[in-house]
């Protein structure tokens, strides 16, 4: 027998039941009280933290000087505030929306980065400040990611046009730290620096990751590096501001200026560094380079989060439009069969009613002999033959009327009325009253003149509960930056060309 043995069927072993967990030990009265006390302490600490949070009620202005009021606390970022403003103003989502801090007293403004917290800057505002927030579109906010070749490459390697894949690789190399110009782009050149008063000096400046430096030796020769640098200002606690109207206010040689200062300085100070560029392209290179040196990869994270928000918003809007289109088609489809059924029912009713009328006419009996005899009777006699004569008039109480031709003379319009009848009882008529006419108004003496009172009138009694006198607010003065924004126009040469 070479046949293999039959395999045995596997035996199924059910899993062993798990041991139930032991019930928790009952808590004593003291443990319960301690637990309740700890929960109350935790809730009280949370409420105290919530009460300590600093909040600001701010009026944010738009480009057309309309405003929206928002509540900003110290935990909110600029991205959250901008979302609220977009919803309140019913604007379309875009990566160009920016929150601007305007300083009219210093003729400058600053664009907030999306990761910043506005309350940290607003705490430095004075009580009687003229600073304000504005919500506008700024094309230079993310110009770095749309045309990186203008800002990340050196001026010799700068290209006006570049393919999208090359732009993406350039950004990846720069922010990953593998490229030759990783961290901080190579930006250097001549800048006009404001000194004491309104004088400006032209110096050769160099951008570094720690701050802005000035070369004492001037522009280096070709093939040599810049040497003998002195620090002008550090980026650690300084913020970047753009100048507005400096050519008229500070006599700057050009109107493309920017400033570096700490947020504590809200008035004119020698610690504020005023710098001026010669054209718009160099201004963009310096400002983008300073932002990269100060924030680094945080700018890339802000740009990616903004694009994600825009995509999610577009998906929600497209889904809403699709659902609305579906509802419209469904309502149109539901209306058509109803109208057809109503027309069919109305035609059926008309047919049925006509058939019923025909059947009723067929069922009605023919006229009998009585009805025919009634139709053959002669017509009734006229009513004039059986009229009764009119009753005679009672002449005892009513006299006959006068003839139409004999009218009394006193009824005519031109003749006066007849005299009244004599009174009964033989009484004589009353005598006529004859009164003299009143004297003329000119014959009356004039009234005596009023004597001026020597004592002044007593003062009016004042109540103790009267509120104090309210001093009206000073007249509204428009901000100089508002006038500047209303007249600000960008030309096509101010921005780099669009990507192909």
Question: What's the whole-number mean pLDDT along residues 233-244?
Answer: 92
pLDDT at residue 24 in the model: 82
In a domain, 394, yes or no: no
In a domain, 351, yes or no: no
pLDDT at residue 159 in the model: 67
pLDDT at residue 27 in the model: 83
Whether the pLDDT of residue 69 is over 80: the answer is: yes
Domain with residue 129: its CATH number is 3.10.20.90
Whether the pLDDT of residue 135 is over 80: the answer is: yes
In a domain, 414, yes or no: no
Task: Compute the C-alpha angle 282/283/289, nearest 5°.
Answer: 90
Length of the chain: 500
In a domain, 14, yes or no: no
Whether the pLDDT of residue 350 is over 90: the answer is: no
Q: Are residues 212 and 280 in the same domain?
A: yes
| pLDDT bucket at 77, cuts 50 / 70 / 90 | very high
| Cβ proximity of 207 and 293 under 8 Å | yes
Range of the structural domain that residue 125 is part of: 52-137
Question: What's the whole-number mean pLDDT along residues 212-241?
Answer: 86
pLDDT at residue 23 in the model: 84
**CA neighbor of 145 nearest in space, from 111, 186, 187, 174:** 174
Question: Which tens digit of pLDDT belongs to each residue from 413-442?
Answer: 455 566 666 655 556 666 666 677 766 656
Lowest mean pLDDT among 113-117, 237-241, 300-304, 331-335: 331-335
Domain with residue 281: its CATH number is 2.30.29.30
Question: Which tens digit of pLDDT belongs to each residue from 253-287?
Answer: 999 999 999 999 988 888 999 999 999 999 999 99
Whether the pLDDT of residue 410 is over 50: the answer is: no
Among the candidates 102, 137, 172, a domain finishes at: 137
pLDDT at residue 84 in the model: 93
Strands 55-61 and 108-111: unpaired
In a domain, 415, yes or no: no
In a domain, 19, yes or no: no
Q: Are residues 185 and 298 in the same domain?
A: yes
Considering only residues 344 and 246, tell me which one the structure prediction assigns the higher pLDDT. Answer: 246
Q: Are residues 288 and 205 in the same domain?
A: yes
**Over the chain, what is the mean pLDDT?**
77
Among the candidates 302, 324, 353, a domain finishes at: 302
Among the candidates 302, 320, 352, a domain finishes at: 302
| pLDDT bucket at 53, cuts 50 / 70 / 90 | confident
Q: Which residues have a Cβ under 8 Å from the Cβ of 144 and sit 6 or more positions away?
A: 151, 152, 288, 291, 292, 299
Considering only residues 371 and 308, tell me which one the structure prediction assigns the higher pLDDT. Answer: 308
Whether the pLDDT of residue 370 is over 50: the answer is: no
pLDDT at residue 165 in the model: 84
Whether the pLDDT of residue 395 is over 60: the answer is: no
pLDDT at residue 451 in the model: 67
As a whole number of angstroms, the distance between CA 413 and CA 103 comes to 93
In a domain, 452, yes or no: no
pLDDT at residue 374 in the model: 47
Q: Are residues 88 and 194 in the same domain?
A: no
pLDDT at residue 40 in the model: 92
DSSP string, 42-61: HHHHHHHHHHHS-EEEEEEE
Q: Are residues 196 and 85 in the same domain?
A: no
| pLDDT bucket at 386, cuts 50 / 70 / 90 | very low
Whether the pLDDT of residue 358 is over 70: the answer is: no
Q: Are residues 217 and 278 in the same domain?
A: yes
Whether the pLDDT of residue 357 is over 50: the answer is: no
The rounded percent of the chain whose pLDDT value lies above 70 is 62
Question: What's the whole-number mean pLDDT along residues 139-143?
Answer: 91
Entry pTM: 0.58
Q: Are residues 282 and 189 in the same domain?
A: yes
As a whole number of angstroms, the distance between CA 257 and CA 192 comes to 9
pLDDT at residue 82 in the model: 94
In a domain, 258, yes or no: yes
The total domain count for the chain is: 2
Task: Compute the C-alpha angle 114/118/124, nearest 5°.
Answer: 145
Q: Are residues 296 and 201 in the same domain?
A: yes
Q: Are residues 195 and 128 in the same domain?
A: no
Whether the pLDDT of residue 143 is over 50: the answer is: yes
Question: Which tens digit of pLDDT belongs to each residue from 170-224?
Answer: 888 888 876 555 678 889 999 999 988 789 999 999 999 999 999 987 888 776 7
């Amino acid at each position: 027998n070479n046949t293999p043995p039959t395999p045995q069927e596997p035996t199924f072993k059910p899993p062993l039941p798990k041991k139930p967990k032991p019930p928790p030990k009952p808590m004593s009265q003291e443990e319960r009280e301690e637990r309740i006390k700890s929960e109350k302490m935790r809730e009280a600490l949370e409420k105290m933290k919530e009460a300590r949070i600093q909040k600001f009620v701010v009026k944010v202005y738009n480009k057309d000087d309309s405003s929206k009021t928002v509540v900003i606390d110290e935990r909110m970022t600029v991205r959250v505030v901008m979302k609220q403003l977009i919803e309140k103003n019913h604007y379309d989502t875009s990566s160009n929306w920016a929150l601007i801090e305007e300083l009219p007293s210093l003729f400058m403004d600053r664009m907030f980065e999306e990761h910043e917290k506005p309350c940290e800057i607003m705490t430095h505002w004075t009580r009687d400040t003229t600073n304000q927030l504005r919500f506008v579109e700024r094309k230079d906010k993310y110009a770095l990611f749309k045309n990186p070749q203008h800002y990340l490459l050196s001026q010799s390697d700068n290209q006006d046009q570049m393919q999208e894949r090359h732009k993406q690789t350039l950004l990846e190399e720069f922010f990953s730290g593998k490229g030759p110009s990783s961290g901080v782009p190579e930006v250097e050149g001549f800048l006009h620096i404001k000194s004491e008063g309104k004088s400006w000096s032209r110096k050769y400046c160099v951008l570094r990751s720690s701050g802005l430096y000035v070369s004492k030796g001037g522009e280096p020769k070709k093939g040599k590096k810049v040497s003998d640098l002195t620090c002008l200002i550090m980026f650690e606690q300084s913020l970047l501001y753009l100048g507005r109207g400096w050519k008229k206010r500070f006599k700057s040689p050009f109107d493309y200026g920017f400033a570096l200062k700490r947020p504590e300085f809200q008035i004119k100070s020698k610690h504020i560094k005023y710098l001026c560029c010669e054209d718009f392209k160099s201004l963009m290179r310096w400002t983008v380079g300073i932002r990269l040196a100060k924030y680094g990869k945080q700018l890339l994270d802000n740009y990616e989060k903004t694009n994600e928000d825009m995509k999610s918003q577009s998906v929600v809007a497209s889904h809403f439009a699709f659902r609305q289109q579906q509802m419209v088609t469904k309502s149109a489809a539901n209306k058509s069969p109803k109208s057809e059924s109503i027309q069919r029912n109305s035609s059926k009713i008309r047919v049925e009613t006509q058939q019923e009328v025909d059947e009723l006419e067929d069922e009605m009996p023919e006229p009998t002999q009585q009805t025919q005899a009634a139709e053959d009777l002669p017509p009734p006699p006229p009513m004039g033959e059986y009229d009764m004569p009119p009753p005679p008039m009672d002449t005892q109480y009513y006299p006959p009327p006068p003839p139409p031709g004999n009218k009394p003379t006193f009824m005519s319009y031109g003749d006066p009325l007849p005299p009244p009848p004599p009174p009964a009882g033989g009484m004589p008529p009353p005598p006529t009253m004859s009164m003299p006419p009143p004297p003329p108004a000119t014959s009356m003496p004039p009234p005596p003149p009023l004597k001026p009172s020597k004592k002044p009138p007593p003062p009016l009694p004042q109540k103790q509960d009267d509120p104090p006198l309210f001093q009206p607010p000073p007249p509204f003065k428009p901000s100089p930056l508002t006038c500047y924004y209303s007249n600000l126009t960008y030309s096509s040469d101010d921005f780099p060309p669009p990507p192909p």
